[in-house]
Amino acid sequence: MTLSARVLTALAIAYPVVSHFGATLGAPVVPLLWLCLMLWGSVLFGSRSPVLLALALACLGAAVIGHLAGYADILLRVPPVIICFAFAWIFGRSLLPGRVALISRIGERMRGELPEPVARYGHRLTLVWTLFFVILGLECILLGLFASPFWWSLFTNYINYALIALLFVVEYPIRRLVLRDLEHTPFIDSLRGSLRLDLR
């Protein structure tokens, strides 16, 4: 991993903590600017995508205008919603006719051509992840509208990430049970292999 990638990863890992303290201490512009820093870092050191550049510019403009207008606390509640529905879209679009489900595609990259039961399981698991992120997105909307800054932050910055990790952990023994005839790699090795794949 390059130095720039390590810096961007560190910024991303630290964002929930920065967001929590910004929301609960009444300084929402700080995590907004932190998010802008992450996006600008991705543009400068990684992707040259015009979409990402436009997003970085929009984020910076929204952070400054929101702070000046006194709406930074409202803007801070938007990114978790966007992130959840973006992941739902990434998983969900792979379920369209003529496409290979995302989880099945990961399996193909790691194992080659998949037997029909394995591909079918990958399709179902992709659907589960899609619905999971839709539910999280709806939860973020409701919390953003009705919850206090503390409870909103507690869920969006900590509990939701714990739920994502829990789904990873719970799915593994279910996979071993459903696909008992398949030779399974250890959970950590499987997770590392998935994270190393370039699925662009």
* DSSP of 73-120: HHHTTHHHHHHHHHHHHHHHHTTSTTS--HHHHHHHHHHSSPPHHHHH
- pLDDT tier at 199, thresholds 50, 70, 90: very low
Among 96, 156, 83, residue whose Cα is nearest residue 126: 96
Average pLDDT, the chain: 84
pTM: 0.85
Q: With beta carbons less than 8 A apart as the criterion, state whether 42 and 52 touch.
A: yes
Give dist(CA 192, CA 41) in Å, integer. Answer: 24
Ranking 91-100, 171-180, 188-197 by mean pLDDT, the lowest is 188-197
**pLDDT tens by residue, 10-53:** 888 999 999 999 999 999 989 998 888 888 877 777 666 676 66
Give dist(CA 184, CA 181) in Å, integer. Answer: 9
- Show the CA angle centred on residue 139, arms to residues 135 and 143, nearest 5°: 175
Q: Where are the domains of the chain?
A: 1-76, 77-200
Give dist(CA 137, CA 145) in Å, integer. Answer: 13
